[in-house]
Amino acid sequence: MTTDTLLTVDDLVVEYPGKAMFAKPFRVLHGVSIEIGAGQTLGLVGESGSGKTTLGRAVLGLAPVTQGTITFDGQDISHASRKDRRALSRHLQVVFQDPYTSLNPSLTVGDILAEPLGIQGITGTEARARVKELLDRVHLPQDAMSRVPREFSGGQRQRVAIARALALRPKLIVCDEPVSALDLSTQARVLDLLLEIQQTTGVSYLFVSHDLDVVRHVSHRVAVMYQGEIVEQGEARHVTEKPDHPYTQRLLLASPVPDPDRQAAKREARRAHAAAQAA
């Protein structure tokens, strides 16, 4: 594993036009800066509306960059053209949150995995061999190639989505809440799969989640977002176990645990924390 910087987001501002004719633009991100090393995972955590998904979309070219820069593998991609974005898709991919809507229901899994290969000119025997390799990589049987998404469980569909993201051997995958729609046992298996893939391929992840426990499991570093700003970032163990910022402390206390006694203790600690912040 190398620590060379793969992605740098520097002082990023994202604004959307106001709904009324003369309304001021709505600012979603306020000068956000992060870095991701090659072969590493940055966990981006925050509650709904914090701006974490917008940051991932900006990296993918799906949200407008108002100010600041996004540098990927030494190239400024802040305002990349559609043509440049197509070329970037070889190295920059995404796994979306919902495995039930992110896959084309009318295509077989073989066609879904072959589609990005065909766009890059990889067809025929080479594409078929690559599809088989991808199914092995995500631990799905070879007969999955001839089946359609509705024949799979949510966890299996997400494995297909991960395989599709891996098809072109990318350097970075943006994982946008990739396990939040899955049950706990399936979440654990998918997270272990992502770790295994990183160990064998060296791919980097920008892992977006609202759950500190999930982020702790997969991340080398963690950045915490609140109202469009990074309020804390650092090594994963420190941020997820002994956070410095009150907001991160509140997120940690809000994470549920399966033990009733520990959960009750966390509930009391959360109330005490809220009272202390209000005082």
Tell which residue, 89, 109, 90, has the closest CA to residue 99: 109
Q: How far apart are CA 3 and CA 209, in angstroms?
A: 23
Q: How many CB atoms lie within 10 A of CB 163?
A: 24
Do 2 and 60 sit in the same domain of this protein? yes
Do 237 and 256 sit in the same domain of this protein? no
Tell which residue, 214, 243, 257, 250, has the closest CA to residue 44: 214
The answer to the question of residue 108 being in a domain is no
What pLDDT shows up at residue 203?
97
Do 223 and 274 sit in the same domain of this protein? no
Give the orientation angle of helix 260-278 with respect to helix 246-254, to 10 degrees.
150
Alpha helices by DSSP H, listed for 122-259, are: 124-137, 154-166, 184-201, 212-218, 236-241, 246-254
Q: What is the pTM of this model?
A: 0.88
Q: What is the mean pLDDT of residues 28-41?
A: 96
Alpha helices by DSSP H, listed for 51-123, are: 52-59, 82-88, 109-119
**Please, are residues 259 and 267 in contact by the beta-carbon 8 Å criterion?**
no
Domain of residue 259 covers: 245-279
The answer to the question of residue 148 being in a domain is no
The answer to the question of residue 133 being in a domain is no
The answer to the question of residue 139 being in a domain is no
What pLDDT shows up at residue 99?
82
Tell which residue, 36, 100, 88, 90, has the closest CA to residue 62: 88
The answer to the question of residue 41 being in a domain is yes
Do 237 and 279 sit in the same domain of this protein? no
Do 225 and 254 sit in the same domain of this protein? no
Do 27 and 60 sit in the same domain of this protein? yes
Q: How many CB atoms lie within 10 A of CB 25?
A: 13
Is pLDDT larger for residue 256 or for residue 205? 205
Q: How far apart are CA 199 and CA 73, in angstroms?
A: 20
Q: What is the pLDDT of residues 99-128, one digit of tens each?
A: 888 899 999 999 999 999 998 888 889 999
Q: What is the pLDDT of residues 163-179, one digit of tens each?
A: 999 999 999 999 999 99
Q: What is the pLDDT of residues 254-264, one digit of tens each?
A: 765 555 555 45
pLDDT of residue 154 exceeding 70: yes
Based on the structure, what is the number of domains in the chain?
Answer: 2
Q: How far is CA 260 from the centre of its chain?
A: 31
What pLDDT shows up at residue 272?
59
- Find the CATH number of the domain harbouring 224: 3.40.50.300
pLDDT of residue 41 exceeding 90: yes
